[in-house]
Structure 1
Amino acid sequence: MEILFWVLGATVLILVVKYGLLKRQVRSLACQVQDSLCRNSEKMLDISLIDKDVERLATLLNQHRARQRQAVVTAQRHEVSLKESVANLSHDLRTPLTVILGHIQLLCSSELSEEQRRRVDLILSRTEKMKDLVNTFYELSLLDTEQIIPRKEKVNLSNMVMNLLAENAPILERRGIFPEVCLPDCSVFLLSDCGMVERVLQNLFVNAVRYSSGNIKISVCQTKKDQGIFCIENPVRDISKLDIDRLFERFYTGDSSTHEEGTGLGLAVVKILVEKLGGEIMAKIHEERLSIKVFFNE
């Protein structure tokens, strides 16, 4: 009887020790996985374990992570290849489109009947839209592949806004839009890339004019930390159809009934450009007006 007691005691002790070691190994695996997730590390799990079943589990987890890593690498390669293909295709399409536009413009200057002129004008407008779309795709593909690096220089944001309004005066007049412009007494200067800032302002202006149901408001100011702020507001035709959280997504146009006017790429390009310039962009809706604000950092 005493021997049986000692055997049972020893068995229980062995089971307790084994259970404690097993818990320790499982806890170690859990800590490794958590640490890998927090640090986004690609380090494999330690499989120098005592329990064979736990060691097999760690091996299977490592194999799964290796396959995931390979899948990510493959997806990234495909994405880069797709972006390069889009860039090359867009670049190749620009030349023939330019030639087509040239010949159409020559047709416009020739003697045409009323019906012929109507058809040529329609072809011209569609071809110009196609060229704009191809140029936007080309620009977007370059931005995605990070081939554009900002060249910082002193930029007069106030003058840039005034030039933008002057250049687009015919569009404003045709649409019956009277912009309200608020500029500070002193010019607002930035240390930024002139071309990229111009592209940001132009895209925001075109978007506001295209989807506005009334007059737009443009304001410029500068913070004490020399941070330039550009803000453009416009009333929205149907506020219920606008998803503010998707505003900067590619191909999002807000209202599917107006997709003929825009491609949904302009604001996506703006967001990428602003981020490349080290700035921030935000949008909000207040009293049925859409407000987009850009913070240009030094």
Structure 2
Amino acid sequence: MEKMSNIEWILIIITIFLVILLFRYIQLKKQIRNLADQVNELNSGNSQQMLDISLIDKDLERLAGILNQYNIRQRQAVAGVLRNEEYLKESVANISHDLRTPLTVILGHLQLLQKENLESSQAQRVKVIFSKAEKMKELVETFYDLSILEEQQTVPEKEKFNISNMLINLITENAVALEKENILPEINLPDYSIYVYSDKNMVERILQNLLTNAIKYSVGTIKITLMEKENNNIIFTIENPMSDSSEIDCNRLFDRFYTGDKSRHNGSTGLGLAVVKTLVAILGGNIVAKVHANSLIITLEL
């Protein structure tokens, strides 16, 4: 067999080199595509894994390492934003809740002042202050409602408390609003105190929102009933007559921004009953609404 010439050896070496180069190129392209897929999964939120940096090319490994460091910093930044957001929501909820009671007291004293024998200019000033205080209370309650609706991880802090006393206190606090609408509530309570084991602040907010809704839309006596069932569950019912109950869609009553009676421009945000539904679900209760004899009846079970 004839010996291969130098040119033939060179061609073989070049061929082997090209094959190795092609193989490396194919492997490199495959790893780049794999790296791109991993980055895409991270961007789309479908994966939380760090990028694989066991690569054949050192520069590519370095790039993957830099991307991992960037990903870690982004996660830390997002976590920080979420913590601040949760803190802000909690702060808004707590501040709004704490402001509601003093604002109610302010409104009560302003209403008493309006009944005094004031001079015309004084009466006008009190009227303006009363109007602004009412608006402030509405804004505070709206902030609280929004914070509750946006909070996805609210955990109830349960304790035993007297819900009978809570209901009486709420009705007393809302005396200004009731008197303004010329509403005298009909209250039906058992002759003993009812206690529940639940989140006190959440239950208070539920009852307050239901009472506020009834006052806004009632055209007569509001009937409020609290009773205890044999299984230790409590039933709270609030009923208010309406000018036109045909405008109420009970299937949508607890939806966000649903205001029902479109003929009345009362400034309602449509958030109050949505908050009620959210809080009742968190507490594992049940709430339903129905229209009967031109009255809206909402029944809460906890």
Give TM-score, length-normalised by structure 2.
0.58
- Residue 283 of structure 1 and its aligned partner are, at CA, apart by 0.4
Q: Partners in 2 of 1:169 and 1:201 — Cα distance?
A: 15
Please name the residue that 1:245 is paired with. 251
1:278 and 2:284 aligned: yes
Q: Shift of the alpha carbon at 1:141?
A: 2.9
Verify the 8 A CA contact 2:145 2:272 in the aligned structure 1: no
Distance across 2 between alignment mates of 1:168 and 1:202: 9
| SS across alignment from 1:245 | coil
Equivalent of 2:274, from 268, 275, 282? Answer: 268
Q: 1:135 to 1:169 in 2, by over 3 A?
A: closer
* Residue 258 of structure 2 corresponds to residue 257 of structure 1: no
Percent sequence identity over aligned pairs: 50
Shift of 1:244: 1.2
Contact 2:216 2:266 in 1 (8 A): no
Flag the 1:263–1:161 CA change in 2: closer, same or farther, 3 A.
Answer: same
Say yes or no: does 1:170 pair with 2:176: yes
Corresponding position of 2:147: 141
Aligned equivalent of 1:219, options 222, 225, 228: 225
Question: What letter is aligned with 1:273?
Answer: L
How big is the shift at 1:168?
2.1
Partner of 1:22: none
Q: Give per-residue Cα distances to partners, 1:82-103, cap 9 Å, x unaligned.
A: xx59x67x95xx89xx9xx9xx
Larger Rg: 2
The verdict on how the C-alpha distance between 1:122 and 1:264 changes in structure 2, with shifts beyond 3 A counting, is: farther
Structure 1 pair 292–134 and aligned structure 2 pair: CA distance change class (3 A): same
- CA distance in structure 1 between the aligned counterparts of 2:122 and 2:288, rounded to whole angstroms: 46
Give 1:155's aligned amino acid: F
User: What amino acid sits opposite 1:252 in the alignment?
Assistant: Y
The correspondence of residues 167-206 of structure 1 with structure 2, limited to 5 A, is: 167-206=173-212
The CA deviation string for residues 231-261 of structure 1, in whole angstroms up to 9 with x for no partner, is: 1000012112111111111111112232334
CA shift in 2, pair 1:167/1:121, >3 Å = closer
Give the Cα separation in 1 of the matches to 2:46 and 2:270: 28
Q: Look up the SS of the partner of 1:220 in the other structure.
A: strand
1:129 alignment partner in structure 2: 135
CA distance in 2, matches of 1:293, 1:72: 42
Q: Secondary structure at the match of 1:258?
A: coil
Do the aligned partners of 1:247 and 1:267 also contact (CA within 8 Å) in 2?
A: yes
Shift of 1:185: 2.7
Flag structure 1 segments of 5+ consecutive residues without an equivalent. Answer: 1-65
1:172 CA displacement: 2.1
Which string of whole-angstrom CA distances, capped at 9 and with x for unpartnered residues, describes residues 213-244 of structure 1? 10010001111110011110000121121111
Give, in angstroms, the shift of residue 127 of structure 1.
7.1
How many correspondences in the alignment? 212
In structure 2, runs of 5+ residues without a counterpart are 1-39, 48-77, 114-118
User: Is this contact kept in 2: 1:178–1:215, CA < 8 A?
Assistant: yes
Larger deviation: 220-229 or 137-146?
A: 137-146
Alignment of 1:61-80 (within 5 A): none
Over 3 Å counting, the alpha-carbon distance change for 1:157 and 1:131 in structure 2 is closer
1:210–1:261 Cα contact (<8 Å) kept: no
Map of 1:294 onto structure 2: 300
Deviation at 1:71, TM superposition (A): 9.1
- Matches of 2:198 and 2:234, distance apart in 1: 10
Q: Deviations over 1:134-179 (max 9, x none)?
A: 5423443344323532111112122211222222223322322121
Q: Find the counterpart in structure 2 of residue 234 from structure 1.
A: 240
How far apart, CA to CA, are the structure 1 residues paired with 2:45 and 2:145? 28
Cα distance between partner residues in 1 of 2:188 and 2:46:
48
| Offset, 1:132 | 2.7
- Change in CA separation of 1:230 and 1:72 when aligned onto 2, cut-off 3 Å: farther
**Superposed CA RMSD:** 3.9
SS of aligned partner of 1:221: strand
- Following superposition, the deviation at residue 117 of structure 1 comes to 7.8
Aligned equivalents of 1:153, 1:145: Cα separation in 2 = 21
Greater shift in the superposed pair: 274-283 or 133-142: 133-142
SS at match of 1:257: coil
